[in-house]
Amino acid sequence: MYVTKRKLVTLWGLILMKSGWLRILLKKKLSTTSQSLMMIPLYMEYLFNYLCLVIWMRKKILDAVCIEKDVDGFHPENMGRLAMRGREPSFVPCTPKGCIELLHRYNIPIKGKRAVVIGRSNIVGTPAAFLLQREDATVTVVHSRTENAEEITREADIIISAVGQPNMVRGSWVKPGAVIIDVGINPVEDPESARGYRLVGDICYEEARKVASAITPVPGGVGPMTIAMLLSNTLLSAKRIHNFS
Amino acid sequence: MYVTKRKLVTLWGLILMKSGWLRILLKKKLSTTSQSLMMIPLYMEYLFNYLCLVIWMRKKILDAVCIEKDVDGFHPENMGRLAMRGREPSFVPCTPKGCIELLHRYNIPIKGKRAVVIGRSNIVGTPAAFLLQREDATVTVVHSRTENAEEITREADIIISAVGQPNMVRGSWVKPGAVIIDVGINPVEDPESARGYRLVGDICYEEARKVASAITPVPGGVGPMTIAMLLSNTLLSAKRIHNFS
């Protein structure tokens, strides 16, 4: 079961990447009918994969994973335990765990600080908010329906952004000295790049780094942490199964 | 199982009330040794009940309740579903559900508004924050470790307080026109009352009602709503079991 799920997650990742490529491809003007026709199979494949996964994976598969092996920590019971006081999750979701690990390793105080999490996804935003609150931060979740997101974000000592909008958070959104963790990975068109695109985060790095006291780069910031935390959770799971302390 | 749990909740409520009485009793000066000795059985009873319930009830009992019959909505899986996007809880916890119902009945807009939840308990604060976020509010959870709670609370269009500190939120904490829901029920010494105490909320009612556009009284505000929502959840549970739509 678990192997199947991991494969699906990988597949999903690939599709997300592909949807990024697709967006870039679509921005190029399609001058001939043949070029337009060429896009149809890509479209169909994307739509098919997307529908399959959204309908099939998000609930059935996640619910079917045994909570003791849910090293991604996406099971609702695990999320509930993460959110509740006096409870411990079986596993902490990998990306938010990586974010908190970064804060710990760089001795950034969390207790009592104001934190803003931008984005409320089940995979990053929501569990990141829970983890920050477990560390006694005062957390505000900013999302697509938030009015004056800029003003709210400017109050934060710690910003975790996982929204998928390239360069959304400008330098003016950041309080001087704030710590920024950028979870976004967004492909943007770049004719200078060999691949025709480059990856940027949700944070406008060049602007924000002048104001912030610490900031993660994209790529190479949170990404490797997610992989490390997935390995950490997998090791933890194996240790528990074999009663190895 | 369910009846047992409800009885325990009632018992717990009684103990909490008793702990309130105890606090008042302790404030009275104990002038004689016999008076001090009189307190010992009370102390012992309180401590015994408290320890029993904290250790025994909070996890074992709650986890043992079948999620289809968990009309309180306290099961971790239910809480997880409440927190996650694209998921639906079996039951919404009664007190927070009552708070949101009050907002709906009085046509108070929630979408896009800034909401502050004071207190992060599993029973009220945490699920109230989830519900407000489900309604597209921008939610900040203020708790005991929050620095400048007053300043943060003053930014809120909607305040839900469930912290158990009598009159903690003063008029100066409230933005003019804000809507306040006071979940706190705190006994304070009152020699004029026949019982020697009276119940007050977390909000200083007399001060806050001059600033707020709407405020719930204590007692008689959220309390009856909780009972109504418990009945609503119980009815829903019965309907589901008997496939009655």
Give per-residue pLDDT as tens, A148-159: 999 999 999 999
Contacts of B139 in chain A (CB under 8 A): 140-141
Q: Could you tell me the pLDDT band of residue B51, with boundaries at 50, 70 and 90?
A: low
pLDDT at residue number A2: 38
Q: A40 pLDDT band (50/70/90 cuts)?
A: low
Nearest to B78 by CA among B12, B127, B119, B139: B127
How many distinct helices (H) and strands (E) make up chain B?
9, 7
Please write the tens of the pLDDT for every residue from B217-245: 999 999 999 999 999 999 999 999 888 87
Å from B147 to nearest chain A CA?
Answer: 6
Q: Grade residue A228 by pLDDT with cuts at 50, 70 and 90.
A: very high
Tell me the pairing of strands A114-118 and B179-182.
unpaired
Q: Which are the contacts of B236, defined by CB distance < 8 A and separation ≥ 6?
A: B71, B91
Q: Using CA atoms, how far apart are residues B76 and B84, in angstroms rounded to an integer?
A: 12
Q: Are B120 and B126 in contact (CB under 8 A)?
A: yes
More confident position, A115 or A4:
A115
Under an 8 A CB cutoff, do B145 and A120 touch? no
Once rounded to an integer, what is the mean pLDDT over residues A201-213?
A: 96
- Give the one of B76, B133, B145 whose C-beta lies nearest to A81's C-beta: B76
CB contact under 8 A, A143 and B120: no
* Nearest residue on chain B to A115, alpha-carbon basis: B140
Nearest of A197, A196, A202 to residue A166 by alpha carbon: A202
Confidence of residue A16 (pLDDT cuts 50, 70, 90): low
Percent of chain B, pLDDT > 70? 75
* Cβ atoms < 10 Å from Cβ of A107: 6
Secondary structure element (H or E) that encloses residue B181, with its range: strand B179-182
> Which of A112, A145, A152 is opposite residue B145, by nearest beta carbon?
A112
B141 touches A: beta carbon within 8 Å: yes
The pLDDT of residue A41 is above 70:
no
Among the residue ranges A22-26, A74-78, A105-109, B52-56, the one predicted with the least confidence is A22-26
**Closest-CA distance of chain B to residue A40, Å:** 30
pLDDT of residue A35: 56
- State the pTM of this model: 0.78
Instruction: Examine residue B219 and say whether the peptide bond preceding it is cis (omega within 30 degrees of 0).
Output: yes
Interface with chain B: mutation pick from A145, A150, A163, highest number of B CBs within 10 Å = A145
Q: Is the pLDDT of residue B126 over 50?
A: yes
Would you state the pLDDT for residue B23?
Answer: 53
Q: CA A236: distance to chain centroid?
A: 22
pLDDT-derived band at A133 (thresholds 50, 70, 90) equals very high
**Amino acid making up residue A216:** T
pLDDT over 60 at B183, yes or no:
yes
Please give the pLDDT value at position B69: 83
pLDDT of residue B106: 96
Instruction: State pLDDT tens for residues A137-148.
Output: 999 999 999 999
User: Which of B82, B111, B141 lies at the smallest CB-CB distance from A133?
Assistant: B141
Residue B45 has pLDDT above 70, yes or no: no
Classify A189 as helix, strand or coil.
strand
Find the mean pLDDT for residues B156-162: 97
Residues B80, A97: Cα–Cα separation, whole Å: 17
Residue A204 and residue A167 in contact, taking contact as beta carbons nearer than 8 Å: yes
